[in-house]
């Protein structure tokens, strides 16, 4: 399947996890790809085994407005156009709101939210030409609140509605804007969480599928939204959460009854 043959794609945060899996998915489907991330060696690992002539490794911090301009300019100068932007880069901070510092807040907003604004703004003139698309990474945490993740909830909630707003404004001009909203997905970032039996038991109790997602499982949905298979999908924030968002939040009465 080569849905992206000849298409030029940028994936931010492509050094690990969902970003790396998404980058490799696009490459397998024929895309010409720019991979962004902070750690250059990890970006080379992401594209290892693929045709280097069809890739641009572009390390940098997407919370830096000037850097994002260079990222877009260098991609278009090298490959001649842009068809798909995947805004994946992000970070999270856990802890009570009372302990969330101004520095914590600004770090989350810069990495998770400002980066999406900067990249989308710089990409849209090119995407209007190619009738391309944007796929943003929101989160289950962008659809509802969590305990101890107020800054992350705020940033991902903003991405959710930013996605919808851009879809309304640009859909009639030929550019589709969508997002995915994953729940717990196994990656470097979640490795410590997954070592805790108590944490994983709590997650599994809320996950109808009964396990964390694999990065490839999120990448497949991102590729679908970016492809012509989703040509009439616009403004969607698609939960890829194992069924967490299917619940209304009440307890699992069946498990309570089974326990007697």
pLDDT digits (tens, 9 = 90+) for 216-257: 999 999 999 999 999 999 999 999 999 999 988 888 877 777
Please tell me the pTM assigned to this model. Answer: 0.94
Q: Picking from 76-80, 85-89, 191-195, which range would have the lowest pLDDT averaged per residue?
A: 191-195
Query: For residues 197 and 150, which has the higher predicted lDDT (pLDDT)?
Result: 150
The DSSP secondary-structure symbol of 19 reads H
Q: What is the mean pLDDT of the chain?
A: 94
For residue 123, the domain's CATH number is: 3.40.50.720
Residue 1 lies in a domain: no
Angle between helices 115-130 and 65-79 (to 10 degrees): 30
Note the pLDDT tens digit of each residue in 105-114.
999 999 999 9
Task: Give the phi and the psi of residue 99 in degrees, each rounded to 5.
Answer: -105, 5
Name the residue range of residue 235's domain: 8-258
Residue 2 lies in a domain: no
CA distance 13 to 126: 21
Residue 82 lies in a domain: yes
Element (H, E) at 46: helix 40-47
Centre a 10 Å sphere on the Cβ of residue 234 and count the other Cβ atoms it contains: 20
Radius of gyration of the chain (CA): 18
Note the pLDDT tens digit of each residue in 54-70.
999 999 999 999 999 99
Which pLDDT score is estimated for 203? 77
Residue 117 lies in a domain: yes
Residue 51 lies in a domain: yes
The residues, ordered by sequence, that sit 6+ positions from 175 with a Cβ below 8 Å of its Cβ are 124, 127, 128, 131, 132, 133, 134
Active-site pick, 67, 117, 152, 170: 152
* Number of domain units in the chain: 1
Active site residue 152: yes
Burial of 85 (0-12, 13-18, 19+ CB in 10 A): buried
**Residue 29 pLDDT > 70, yes or no?**
yes
**Residue 11 pLDDT > 90, yes or no?**
yes
Query: For residues 100 and 191, which has the higher predicted lDDT (pLDDT)?
Result: 100
Residue 195 lies in a domain: yes
Residue 246 lies in a domain: yes
Residue 26 lies in a domain: yes
**Residue 211 pLDDT > 90, yes or no?**
no
């Amino acid at each position: 399947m080569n849905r992206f043959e000849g298409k030029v794609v940028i994936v931010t945060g492509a050094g690990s996890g969902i970003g790396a899996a998404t980058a490799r998915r696009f490459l397998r489907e024929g895309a010409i790809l720019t991979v962004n991330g902070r750690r250059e060696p990890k970006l080379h690992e992401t594209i290892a085994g693929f045709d280097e002539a069809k890739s641009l490794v572009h390390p940098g911090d997407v919370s830096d407005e000037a850097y994002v301009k260079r990222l877009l300019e260098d991609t278009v100068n090298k490959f001649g156009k842009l068809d798909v932007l995947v805004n994946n880069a992000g970070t999270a901070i856990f802890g009570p709101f009372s302990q969330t510092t101004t520095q914590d807040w600004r770090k989350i907003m810069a990495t998770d939210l400002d980066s999406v604004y900067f990249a989308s703004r710089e990409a849209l003139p090119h995407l209007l030409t190619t009738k391309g698309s944007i796929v943003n990474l929101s989160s289950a945490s962008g659809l509802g609140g969590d305990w101890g993740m107020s800054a992350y909830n705020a940033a991902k909630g903003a991405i959710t509605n930013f996605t919808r707003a851009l879809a309304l404004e640009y859909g009639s001009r030929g550019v589709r804007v969508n997002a995915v909203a994953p729940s717990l997905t196994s990656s470097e970032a979640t490795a410590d969480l997954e070592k805790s039996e108590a944490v994983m038991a709590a997650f599994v109790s809320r996950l109808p599928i009964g396990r964390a997602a694999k990065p490839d499982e999120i990448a497949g949905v991102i590729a679908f939204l970016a492809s012509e298979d989703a040509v009439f999908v616009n403004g969607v924030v698609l939960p890829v959460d194992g069924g967490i968002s299917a619940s209304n939040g009440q307890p699992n009465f069946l498990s309570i009854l089974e326990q007697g």
